Amino acid sequence: MRELSRLRREVDDWRALRQRTQDALELSQLDDEALRPDIEAEKQALAQDVSQLEVQAMLSGPYDEDDAIIAIHAGAGGTDSQDWAQMLERMYLRWAEGRQFSADILDLSEGEEAGIKSVTIAIEGEYAYGNLRSEKGVHRLVRLSPFDSAHRRHTSFALVEILPQVETDEDLQINPSDLRIDTYRSAGAGGQNVQKNETAIRITHIPTGIVVTCQNERSQTQNKENAMRVLRARLHELQRIQKEEELAEIKGEFVKAEWGSQIRSYVLHPYQMVKDHRTGFEVGNTTAVLDGELDGFIEAYLRSNVGSAR
């Protein structure tokens, strides 16, 4: 029913666009000067709506319509990288807010002096994963460090993981006997209840060694449910990568996604620019990007993927 509802909305959008186009064409054939401003305004609005529907049509991957999980990890660079990880957390939260998506912080590990070591966020909204999958990879920041007494220029790195929250997957079966579940006291903020009781959860999937934690809820049950959401997403991603590797071995083409090469650079000094190294798309307004304006990067990534697929 959810799939049917989504497809009906898509078809209705295209039909409405077709009707508006036909109406505009009929008006233009009247050759009435008084109608020209209205026709020109509708022409621009139609062009914008077509562009948006084009982007939506590119979101045709098997999990693009699903909700997403974002995991951000500070890289080498100490406090600067931890501060950078927190800046990225804010950027994605602002992006979700702008789209009226739900964003729920499942787990947060704070830095010793400032920033965060890691954070896991559940993003719920239509095509959340399809839009966010362009963000997967290493993000690089160049700026004058606010944590350096000499105020020198520093380069910081953070890794962003994007996982789909797949509701049903017949191929993914989790045996309870494969799980080791530990409880501990939360180290984060949350009041005395969180500090005194063992509400935080750590789940280890023994066959793969995958470890997930969740400590942001006051209830141990809620933390366990959220930890299982993340574990399912990570196991699903592991299965997907293994299938890609097997297929790539047959075809002879596979590049593993690892630390080493950044997908995007954010330069705040000596000039201001954000550039995506995969598509060449760049923006000079770094403040807007860090405030969550990512749609240009997302669209450029989707269009480049369509082009490469052809």
Residues 4-27: tens digit of each pLDDT: 887 888 899 899 999 999 998 988
- Helix 36-58 / helix 2-28 crossing angle, nearest 10 deg: 150
Buried b (16+ CB within 10 A) or exposed e, 120-143: bbbbebbbbbbbbbbbbbbbbbbb
CA 116-119-120 angle, 5° bins: 175
Q: Summarize pLDDT for 163-182 with one digit per residue, the tens.
A: 998 766 666 788 999 999 99
Of 86, 74, 235, 91, the C-alpha closest to 157 is 74
Tell me the H-state helices in the chain. Answer: 2-28, 36-58, 79-98, 128-132, 192-196, 220-251, 286-290, 295-309
- Which tokens sit at 268? 């705040």
User: What's this model's pTM, rounded to 2 decimal places?
Assistant: 0.81
Specify the pLDDT at position 256: 46
Instruction: List strand residue ranges (DSSP E) for 75-209, in order.
Output: 102-110, 116-124, 137-144, 153-165, 179-184, 200-205
Please state, in angstroms and rounded to a whole number, the distance separating the CA atoms of residues 133 and 135: 5
Mean pLDDT on 49-69:
86
The CATH code of domain 176-251 reads 3.30.160.20
Specify the pLDDT at position 140: 94
Fold (topology level) of 67-167+260-309: Alpha-Beta Plaits (3.30.70)
